[in-house]
Amino acid sequence: MTSNNGKLPIHKHIPHASRIVYGGMHLGGGWNKNPISKDDEIQAQDLLETALANGINTLDLADIYTFGKAEEVIGRVFKKAPHLIDKLIIQSKLGIKLTHDAKVKQYDLSASWAEKGLDAILKRLRIEKLDVLFLHRPDPLMEIESLATTLNKNYEHDKFEYLALSNMHAGQMAYIQSNVSMPVIANQLEMSLLASDFVEDAITVNMDINSQVGFPRGTIEYCLPQGIQLQAWASLAQGIFDPNHTNTEVTREIIDTRLLVGELAENYNTSPSAIVLAWLMRHPAMIQPVIGTTTPKRLVEAAEAGKILLSRDDWYHLLETRRGREVP
C-alpha cells in the first residue's frame, strides 16, 4: 500500500522539504577528540549524496554534535563540493553549552551565546546563511527580550532564514514566538514507536494514567494550526525493534513488537526500519523523522518508509503490541 504523504508539502514554510531528515550527529569521526580524517570527509560526502539520491534533502546538525566536528566535516565537504549546498535544506541547533569554560553542562540561550553560537555554526559549515536555526533546549535562565533582539538582528542581517525550536512545549513555543519577528516553523521532539507518549497523551485523556505521560500535553494540537512542523529525533529508537537487534535485555513487549515488525516488513515487502518509520509517519501531523546514521544502507531503507501507508489495523496492532495491552 503506497502513501500519498510523500507527494504532499511537509513544511508550510518550506514546501520542498523532504519527508525524512538526515541527522548528522555522529559525523566527523565520533564523539571524541580525534581530528577529522580524510575518511571522515569521504564518509560525510557519501552519506549526503546517498540521502539526496534517495529523496532526502534536509540535513540536521547541532553545534555540539561530535563536539563541533559534525558541522566542520560538512563544511569541508561543502568546500570540495559546493554544488551540494543549494541542494540541501541545512538546519542546525545552538543552546547546549559543552565548552571548556563551562564548569558544568548547561543550557545557554543568552543573547551573547546565541550571537557567538550562530557565527560559529556558519564558520564551521563554511556558509553565509543557515536555512533553519534551532534553539536546542529550553534555558530556565533565558532572558527573552535580549535573546529576541539578537535573533531579530541576525535574521535581518540574513544569517538565517527560519527559526525553530527543539524539546519545547506549547507554552514555551508561544512565549518565544510572541517576542521574535520571524515565525517559528518547527519543533523537534523525541517521538517514535518506543517514545510513543505523544499517542498516549491522546488516548488516555480523562484517565489517571495520563498523569504518567511524558510528552508535553497539547503540543501537537498547538503546532498543527500554527503551521509548526513536528520533527522526531531518535525516530528509530536506536534500532531496538529490528528483529536482528542483539539486545536481549528488553521487555516482553519489545520482543513481541520486534516479531510483529518483522512480519509486517515481509507483508509490505520492505525493511523493518521502514515499518518503524511508517508507523510514525502514518500520524496525520505529518511528522518528519530524523535519521541519525553513518550507514548509507540505513538511509536507503529509511527512504522506503515514505512509500508505505500502514493500514489502520496494522498501525493499531503495532501500538497495542508495543503497549502490551489494548488501547483503553
DSSP per-residue letters across 200-221: HHHH-TTSGGGGG--SPTTHHH
* CA atoms of 274 and 281, how far apart (whole Å): 10
What is the average pLDDT score of the chain? 94
Considering only CA atoms, which of 109, 118, 114 is closest in space to residue 91? 118
The 10 Å Cβ neighbour count of residue 245 is 17
Q: Report pTM.
A: 0.94
pLDDT, greater one: 115 or 8: 115
The percentage of the chain sitting over the pLDDT mark of 90, rounded to a whole number, equals: 86
**pLDDT above 70 (res 306):** yes
**Distance between CA atoms of 199 and 202, rounded to whole angstroms?**
5
Question: Which of 8-12, 76-80, 87-91, 292-296 has the lowest average pLDDT?
Answer: 8-12
Half-sphere exposure of 168 (CA within 13 A, CB side): 27
The distance from CA 7 to its chain's CA centroid, rounded to whole angstroms, is 20
| Domains in the chain, CATH or no CATH each | 5-323 (3.20.20.100)
Overall average pLDDT of the 190-219 stretch? 86
Count of CB atoms within 10 A of residue 214's CB? Answer: 11
Interval 98-115 mean pLDDT: 90
Q: Distance between the two ends of the chain, CA-based, in angstroms?
A: 28
**pLDDT of 9:** 60
Residues 289, 60: contact at Cβ < 8 Å?
no
Give the rounded percent of residues in the chain with a pLDDT score beyond 70.
Answer: 97
Q: Position of cell 514554510?
A: 13
Q: What is the mean pLDDT of residues 6-21?
A: 80
- Answer yes or no: are the C-beta atoms of 110 and 153 closer than 8 Å: no
Cα radius of gyration (the chain): 20
Are 276 and 315 spatial neighbours (Cβ–Cβ below 8 Å)? no
Q: Quick one: pLDDT at residue 5?
A: 43
pLDDT tier at 98 (50, 70, 90 boundaries)? confident
Contact between 40 and 27 (Cβ < 8 Å): yes
Range list of β-strands (E), the chain: 21-23, 58-60, 89-94, 96-97, 106-107, 130-135, 160-166, 184-190, 229-233, 288-292
- The whole-number average pLDDT for the span 148-176 is 97
Residue 3 banded pLDDT, cuts 50, 70, 90: very low
- Give the span between the Cα atoms of 190 and 215, in whole angstroms: 9
8 pLDDT more than 90: no
Predicted confidence at residue 246, as pLDDT, reads 80
**φ, ψ (nearest 5 deg) of residue 230:** -90, 125
Residue 162 has phi, psi (to 5 degrees) of -135, 155
Report d(CA 114, CA 25) in Å as an integer.
Answer: 20
- pLDDT tens, 26-83? 999 999 999 999 999 999 999 999 999 999 999 999 999 999 999 999 999 999 999 9
Nearest CA to 168 among 78, 271, 93, 275?
93
Please report the pLDDT score of residue 7 as a whole number. Answer: 47
| pLDDT for residue 259 | 96
